[in-house]
Amino acid sequence: MFLLALAGMIAGLLAASNFVIERLPDAKDLIEKLSPYQAMIGLVALILAALRLFSLFGGSDRISLLSYVIALSCVLSTIVVGFLLSFPMINKFIAEQDETGNAKEKAEMLRKKLAPYQVTAGLVSMGTAAYLLLVSIL
Q: What confidence tier does 59 reach under pLDDT thresholds 50, 70, 90?
A: low
What DSSP designation does 37 have? Answer: G
Q: Pick the closest to residue 74 from 17, 14, 123, 20 (CA basis).
A: 123
Quote the CA–CA distance of 35 and 38 in Å, as a whole number: 5
Confidence band of 102 (pLDDT split at 50, 70, 90):
confident
Kindly report the pTM of this predicted structure.
0.85
Quick check: 60 pLDDT over 60? no
Note the pLDDT of residue 12.
92
pLDDT confidence of residue 109: 86
Query: What is the residue type of 27?
Result: A
Q: What is the DSSP letter of 1?
A: -
- Burial pattern 84-111, b for ≥16 Cβ within 10 A else e, equals bbbbeebbeebeeeeeeeebbeebeeee
